[in-house]
Structure 1
Amino acid sequence: MTNHPIDQKLVGLEKRIQELIKAYQSERSRNNQLEQTNQSLKAEVEGLQAKLTDFQNQYKIAKIVSSTTVEKDEAVELKNKLNEYIKEIDRCIAHLS
């Protein structure tokens, strides 16, 4: 009879350990999901930052072109040239990074 209370305590302890293992596995799975979500959000932020930079460059080009006193055809040509230069500079910067 003296082993009976000890056996009950061991069974209770085993149940508690199993519950803790399940909780740990659940939290580990949740953590992995959150890490994946975090990575995808970081990639999205980088993409949006690249788009923002592109839009800022386009705005600057438009501002430069509109401030010049050239004919409309020349302004379009100038804008296209500036766009090409900026894209080439961006490629060079990306390559250096």
Structure 2
Amino acid sequence: MSTGRELEQMAILEKRVTQLIASYHEVRESLDQARYVIHNLQSIIDAKDEEIKNFQNRDNISKIVNTIAAEPAHSTELKLKINEYIREIDKCIAYLRD
């Protein structure tokens, strides 16, 4: 008789272990998905930080140009030239990152 009861307990234990393994796999999958989302969000944050930095640099350059050039024609020309240099530098930085 005890063998039947032991088999029943083993079956219950096996069922619980199977449930635990299934739960583990679900949690593991959720964790992997969360890590993927975090990685993507971090990439977006990094890109936005870079954009903000570029805008701040352009604003600083505009301020510098306005202080250096008194005439509006020279100011515009200087801004364009500096922006061209900045674009070239950004291209170089992007090239170096790759």
Normalised by the size of structure 1, how large is the TM-score? 0.91
What is the Cα deviation at residue 51 of structure 1?
Answer: 0.4
CA distance in 1, matches of 2:83, 2:16: 66
Gaps of 5+ in 1: none
CA distance in 2, matches of 1:53, 1:87: 13
Q: Which runs of 4+ in 1 moved over 4 A?
A: none
CA distance in 2, matches of 1:69, 1:89: 23
Count of residue pairs the alignment pairs up: 97
> Where does residue 22 of structure 1 map in the other structure?
22
Please list the CA deviations of residues 46-71 of structure 1 after superposition, one character each: whole Å capped at 9, or x if unmatched. 11111011111111111111111331
> Where does residue 35 of structure 2 map in the other structure?
35
Alignment of 1:71 onto 2:71: yes
Please list the CA deviations of residues 17-55 of structure 1 after superposition, one character each: whole Å capped at 9, or x if unmatched. 111011111101101210111111111011111101111
Determine helix, strand or coil for the equivalent of 1:70: coil
Q: Which moved more, 1:68-77 or 1:22-31?
A: 68-77
What is the Cα deviation at residue 4 of structure 1?
Answer: 1.5
> Where does residue 59 of structure 2 map in the other structure?
59
> Where does residue 93 of structure 1 map in the other structure?
93
CA distance in 1, matches of 2:57, 2:34: 34
Gaps of 5+ in 2: none
CA distance in 1, matches of 2:19, 2:69: 76
Flag the structure with more relative contact order, 1 or 2, with Cα contacts below 8 A and sequence separation at least 6: 1
> Where does residue 5 of structure 2 map in the other structure?
5
Could you say what the CA RMSD is over the residues aligned between the two structures, in angstroms?
1.2
Identity %: 35
